[in-house]
Chains A and B, each alone.
Chain A
Amino acid sequence: MDVLSYFNYWAVVVLMMLGFFIVIARANLVKKLIGLNIFQTSVFILYISAGKVIGGSAPILSDDVTLYSNPLPHVLILTAIVVGIATTSVGLALVIRIHAAYGSVNQNDILKQDQQC
């Protein structure tokens, strides 16, 4: 019971480690970015879960509601999502330029090419 009530946080930990592992273990630059995205998303879930008050309603002012969820983490995460999108787009733009310059998006290939010249 106790374990299940922390379900969100277990999901966060699993996603975080998955993302982190992909970033470290994969040589493909696009996959690295995907891993980075999963890693960031897990933190978004962490924040949003923390904002939920059990039994609380959506934070919209109304007369017949007394208990609200905390809206602040959601707002913070909206900002963080924007930051995440910006990071992903800069990263993908870099991958396109890398592909144009090296003809590959595999880190090992790229390093090999650099060593040759």
Chain B
Amino acid sequence: MLSHIALLPVLLPLIGAPACAILRRPVFAWGFASSVAALAFLSAAILLKLTFEHGVIHYSLGGWAAPWGIEYRVDLLNALVLLLVSGIATTVLVASRTSVWHDIAENRRGLFYVACLLCLAGMLGIAATGDAFNLFVFLEISSLSTYALVACGRDRRALLAAFNYLVMGTIGATFILIGIGFVYMLTGTLNMTDLAQRLPGLGESRTVFAAYAFIVVGVCLKLALFPLHLWLPGAYTHAPAIVTAFLAATSTKVALYVLIRFSFSVFHLESSRLALSLEAVFITLGIVAVFAGSLVAIFADNLKRGLAWSSIAQVGYMTIGIGIGTAAGLQASLIHLFNHALMKGTLFLALAAIAIQVGGNEFSKLRGIGRRMPWSCAAFTVAGISLIGIPGTAGFVSKWYLVTAALAGEQWFLVLLIVAGSLLTAVYIWRFVEIAWLDSAPEKATGGDGEAPSVLLAATLMLALANIYFGFDTRLQVSASGGAAAALLGEAAQ
């Protein structure tokens, strides 16, 4: 009975989406979508607790035993990602009302929430499933709804951004499909646990490498790892503010989960001949991403675009963690995955609040905004400090673990680069602080005055407080990610 709960986080939004489409009034759709996400969050929280206590939870869909049927397999890593994605989704959806009412035409609001729920179902499905092909299907469910969500933006440039995302996302997903096809031809199974047992027996087969290469390239397109990031700035900048907050905090994280799952659970990256060169690739691309992303972010004249580039930089940190290749590096990567979702969730929600009041996120419109919207800007600043990695915030914890992992590997140069990257982050966060708090407001204020709507503000502040809370009480991320990293490398060692 208890194992049925592994299905709940996926099933709720998947059934909730068509049910939401029936609701005529957008307010009802908003309420319904938020409560479905909250229920998914609740079941994910129970799942995480169960996996802490009982270890891995298996669930066979329809009662078909594992290698033949589709299995949902939830261990600490899955549960952490499930909790994170559903938690962020709940916060963002509850907060979304005013921003969605501001951004989206009335006849589309109901359907907007349907797409949100579908997207959520897809991402939770990716995180819960133990079947490689099932993962591809869920990936496409979430991607397709994401394209629709991005296209909802007010600006017509959102359409082209969504189209570009569609083309690159489909190429990425098809690459993953090719990779899965190769491993299926080799092993005759699609179950990840089964694959993990059969692949090492094939030795140094070139087909295995080709399959892994296809999957990595496909996933990295979704992950927006430099230089496969081209879709991300456009999509994040022109999407509705709420969609950006939702995507930035969840979709790249899920893609990173897929990369980790395939690299360590399925293909045993660390024990194969390919490992050494691939780790170098991840570290190099990660560092280039950190610097390229941060530098563009510094010179962006639209804050939302700047933060989109900053997301590319942060993805770089996460892949550096994977590239280090030790349990500590992997753990750092997972902690940063968790913390970065909190930071970017706060930052983009604060931007959503600002966009409602001043009608945009260009720096020219933000002068003196700190005096008019002190709470939203305070939340933004806290999350920004966390992004830099100053002690007392969640960001510090992830940087600390990353630097420790690099030190343990005696990669001094890497440590230097990580710290330098943080300094670059400080530059673009400072640029906001200077304009928002230190500049005097323009004579004639554009748009409405005053603080953001209360629900949106409450959600933003809550996420900002979470940034501080998880900077002090690190038990949740550290123990979950530590256990997950040990399990990932332990599985491989057997």
Contacts and interface: CB of A to CB of B under 8 A. Distances in A.
B144 A87 contact: yes
A43 B163 contact: no
A32 B178 CA distance: 20
A96 to B, nearest CB: 10
Given A23-B167, A86-B144, A101 B156 contact: yes
Contacts of B185: 50
A94 B177 contact: no
A83 B139 CA distance: 10
Contacts of A76: 133
Contact of B177 (A32, A43, A97, A102): A43
Chain B interface residue count: which class? Answer: 20 to 34
A29 interface: yes
B181 A46 contact: yes
A90 interface: yes
Interface in B111-163: 133, 136-137, 140, 144, 147-148, 151, 156-157, 159-160, 162-163
A43 B166 contact: no
B181 A43 contact: yes
Contacts of A27: none
Given A46-B181, A50-B185, A80-B177, A87 B159 contact: no
Interface string A38-54: 01100100110010000
A87 B177 contact: no
B181 A50 contact: yes
Given A90-B148, A90-B166, A98 B160 contact: yes
A95 interface: yes
A47 B182 CA distance: 9
B426 interface: no
Contact of B147 (A47, A79, A94, A114): A94
Contacts of A98: 156, 159-160, 163
A20 B170 CA distance: 11
A15 interface: no
Contact of B171 (A23, A79, A107): A23
Nearest to B140: A83
A83 B159 contact: no
Chain A interface residue count: which class? Answer: 20 to 34
A29 B157 CA distance: 14
A95 B163 contact: yes
B181 A47 contact: yes
Contact of A73 (B140, B147, B184): B184
A18 B128 CA distance: 36
B140 A94 contact: no
A39 B167 CA distance: 11
B197 interface: no
Interface string B283-301: 0000000000000000000
Interface in A72-98: 73, 76, 79-80, 83, 86-87, 90-91, 94-95, 97-98
A15 B178 CA distance: 14
A64 B166 CA distance: 48
B160 A110 contact: yes
B167 A32 contact: yes
Interface string A15-41: 000001001000001001000100110
B174 interface: yes
Of B157, B160, B178, B185, the most chain A CB neighbours within 10 A belong to B160
A105 to B, nearest CB: 10
Interface of A: 20, 23, 29, 32, 36, 39-40, 43, 46-47, 50, 73, 76, 79-80, 83, 86-87, 90-91, 94-95, 97-98, 101-102, 107, 110-111, 114
27 contacts: A23-B167, A23-B171, A29-B163, A36-B170, A40-B174, A43-B174, A47-B181, A50-B185, A73-B181, A79-B137, A80-B136, A80-B177, A83-B137, A83-B173, A86-B140, A87-B166, A87-B170, A91-B163, A94-B159, A94-B162, A94-B166, A98-B159, A101-B159, A102-B156, A107-B160, A110-B160, A111-B160
A-B interface, 9 closest residue pairs, ranked by CB to CB distance from nearest: A101-B156, A83-B140, A98-B159, A94-B163, A50-B185, A97-B159, A87-B170, A47-B181, A91-B166
Given A79-B133, A94-B147, A94-B162, 14 more contacts: A39-B174, A43-B178, A43-B181, A50-B184, A80-B136, A86-B140, A90-B148, A91-B167, A94-B159, A95-B163, A98-B163, A102-B156, A107-B160, A111-B160
